Amino acid sequence: MSIATIDPSTGRVLKTFDEMTDQQVEDVLARAADGFDRLRTTTFADRARWMSTAADLLEVDRDDVARMMTTEMGKTYASAKAEVTKCAMASRYYAAHAERFLADEPADAAAIGAVQAYSRYHPMGPVLAVMPWNFPLWQVLRFAAPALMAGNVGLLKHASNVPQTALYLDELFRRAGFPAGAFQALMIESSAVERVLADPRVRAATLTGSEGAGRSVAAIAGQHIKKTVLELGGSDPFVVMPSADVQRAAEVATVARCQNNGQSCIAAKRFIVHDEVFDAFADALVARMSALRMGDPMAEETDIGPLATERGRAEVEEQVQDAARQGARVLCGGQRPDRDGWWYPPTVVTDLTPAMRMYAEEVFGPVAGLYRVSSYDEAIEVANGTDYGLGSNAWTRDPAEQERFATDLDAGMVFINGMTTSYPELPFGGVGNSGYGRELSAQGIREFCNLKAVWVGEGGATGPGAGAHSE
Ligand code: NAP
């Protein structure tokens, strides 16, 4: 029963799925290898046509897919619809730009004794994507759209609590016209990932998920000398300086913390506020967090639904209780409601110390940690004081300070006077324990390509092979 749709707003098991047998997994891998042989010989124009059709299908299917996601993991229906729309947009983005991103890159041929020299991008083959439940369509799509446009094929091991979304994706690309085997879902548990990744037909892996899962998949890939991209957790700082528009910062902070019911890797999690504006910001944040309406995720008026899993809710609750036990003040929330399902209210906690779990750990729920600082340097010290480095946010109207934050924040992404968001136009990823590699942008499509150096001589005696040094 571990692969199952369980409604987080009631805790009721709605549908269970059997894990694939060894033979079924073998069939998927064989189809992936065949699919790669077919897909690699297609043109960018073919793939762009199919990818655009996938975007059209997503738009047609939007409401049904959104309802399915809401049922499987509890995000609000409104945000689920927006997620589907974003997937369609990113599919069109890669359909339009893949060929340009992967065009041959000329080198200075004369400088290296060649008549022609360039780098060329080739697809690598089947790529295993181990994906999380929090943005069950978007996390997969932002891997799949560039991967398929490059000519790779995708194998999806989705989180066990979003099997229906996995099966929808399994069909989507085939319906759009991609060859059989170009994209398939593997209905397996995480313990079966090792066997798939070890298979010689699988050339690389990408994982979006927790630090522990990242370490495990990277270790297996390392054993088999396969490339990985890791998009892991984060505890993003949100710094508010005296020149900021404090009311606007508090408004955006509330969304940045509570989007997706507080379960986003790039949610702002630590609010680091300058002494001069601390009280004003804290009051505004508490007022806004307390005003959020928690309830049926399908209802239009709902701001925040349940957490996706019972385990996730228990973890958040324990992190807050640990802080409170050690002297932190809970300014709002902090008590789970007495009802079925995995609910946890918007919560603000302050007076946090390094001894508390919340100080260093990611809190994957609608809980804001509030920190008081008295200078720019102290703000940077607290902001950079975790092992993570995914997104970061700073609020200041001082142009010199904006420049300094862009340099000094140790993260993969810096958003000034805004909240961290993913755009196809910008690279997405982190440093430190938040992972490595990048998704989206031109960089994202190049991650799973073999960048081949090509040197062409005149056919005479000079050039590589005839020179004194080669390596
Ligand atoms: P998770 O438990 O790590 O699960 C993610 C995926 O990894 C699931 O498919 C899971 O399968 C699989 N998995 C878990 N342990 C594994 C292992 N030892 N070997 C192979 N696969 C394994 O994470 P989650 O709870 O679903 O998602 C929350 C985490 O993801 C948070 O830390 C969040 O910050 C991070 N995240 C990061 C990004 C980003 O872009 N950086 C985006 C979204 C989420 P099962 O479901 O079968 O266990």
Is it the case that residue 413 has pLDDT exceeding 70? yes
Inter-helix orientation angle 376-383/399-408, to 10°:
30
The 8-class DSSP code of residue 345 comes to: -
Confidence of residue 463 (pLDDT cuts 50, 70, 90): low
258 is catalytic: no
Which residues of the chain does CATH 3.40.309.10 include? 236-385+391-416
CATH class of the domain comprising 4-233+429-456:
alpha beta
Residue-wise pLDDT tens digits, 162-199? 999 999 999 999 999 999 999 999 999 999 999 999 99
Which residues of the chain does CATH 3.40.605.10 include? 4-233+429-456
C-alpha 427/C-alpha 373 separation (Å) is 30
% of the chain beyond a pLDDT of 70: 97
Is it the case that residue 465 has pLDDT exceeding 90? no
Cα 130 to chain centroid distance, Å, stands at 11
Is it the case that residue 159 has pLDDT exceeding 60? yes
Pocket residues for ligand 1 (CB within 6 Å)? 130-134, 139, 157-160, 189-190, 193, 208-210, 213, 216-217, 231-234, 265, 362, 364, 390
* Distance set, CA 271 to CA 234, 307, 360 (Å): 14, 21, 13
Positive or negative, the CA dihedral 164, 129, 52, 50 is negative
Question: What is the pLDDT averaged over residues 50-55?
Answer: 98
C-alpha 379/C-alpha 396 separation (Å) is 12
Structure tokens at 5: 């749709």
Is it the case that residue 466 has pLDDT exceeding 80? no
Length of the chain measured in residues: 471
Inter-helix orientation angle 163-176/44-73, to 10°:
160
The pLDDT assigned to 460 comes to 64
Please tell me whether residue 236 adopts helix, strand or coil conformation.
Answer: strand
The pLDDT assigned to 462 comes to 53
265 is catalytic: yes
Is residue 174 within 8 A of residue 203, CB to CB? The reply is no
Question: What is the pLDDT averaged over residues 452-462?
Answer: 84
**Active-site pick, 87, 265, 332, 449:** 265
Whose Cα sits closest to atom 46 in ligand 1? 159
Best residue among 5, 19, 134 to mutate for probing ligand 1's pocket (most ligand atoms within 8 Å of CB) is: 134
The pLDDT assigned to 459 comes to 83
The pLDDT assigned to 1 comes to 55
Across all residues in the chain, what is the average pLDDT?
97
Please tell me whether residue 216 adopts helix, strand or coil conformation.
Answer: helix
**Strand pairing report for 347-350 and 236-240:** unpaired
Positive or negative, the CA dihedral 65, 66, 69, 71 is negative
* Distance set, CA 10 to CA 5, 13, 73 (Å): 12, 9, 11
Residue-wise pLDDT tens digits, 268-312? 999 999 999 999 999 999 999 999 999 999 999 999 999 999 999
CATH class of the domain comprising 236-385+391-416:
alpha beta
Confidence of residue 372 (pLDDT cuts 50, 70, 90): very high
The pLDDT assigned to 115 comes to 97
Instruction: Give the distance (Å) from ligand 1 centre to CA of residue 197.
Output: 16
The pLDDT assigned to 470 comes to 59
C-alpha 433/C-alpha 360 separation (Å) is 12
Please tell me the pTM assigned to this model. Answer: 0.96
Structure tokens at 44: 């960018």
